Amino acid sequence: MIDTEQFQGKVIGLQKALSDKMGLRGATLERQLRRAGRRLPRRPRRAGAVILGAQDWMAHPKLARILDFSSVNNAFADLHSYLDGLDPKEARKTARLRLVSSIVLNLIVLAALIYALLHWQGAV
C-alpha cells in the first residue's frame, strides 16, 4: 500500500516537471494534462489517465487499498521518462526557426506572385 503523502509528493513532482519541461500551467495535474493535449504522445497520455484515476481512488481509503500500485508507478515512470527527454531550450529554438522559415517562405511566394503579375502586365 502506498502512502497518501508519498503519492501526493509524486504528483507534485510531476506537476513541477510538466511546468518546467513543457511550460504547462495549471492548479491541478488534471488541468495540466488537459492543456498538454496532443503535445503528449499516446503512451504518456495514457499514463496521465492512469495517474488521474489513481488520484481519485487515493481520496477514498477503501479504494486506495485495492489500487494496483505497480501500474501507477509504471505510469509515473513513463511520464517522467518522456519529460526527461524534452529540452525546453531546444523546443524554443525550433519554434523560432519554424517561425522564421514560414515568414521567409511567405515572402518568396509573395515575390513570385508580384513577378508573375508584372510579367503578365508586360512591365518586365
Which residue from 72, 96, 56, 68 is spatially nearest to 14, judged by alpha carbons?
72
Reduced to 3 states (helix: H, G, I; strand: E, B; else coil), residue 85 is coil
The grid coordinates of residue 88 equal 525546453
Q: What DSSP character marks residue 11?
A: H
Whether 23 contacts 87, CB under 8 Å: no
This prediction has a pTM of 0.78
Domain ranges of the chain: 1-86, 87-124
For the stretch 31-60, pLDDT in tens is 999 999 999 999 999 999 999 999 999 988
Instruction: Write the pLDDT tens digit of every residue in 104-116.
Output: 999 999 999 999 9
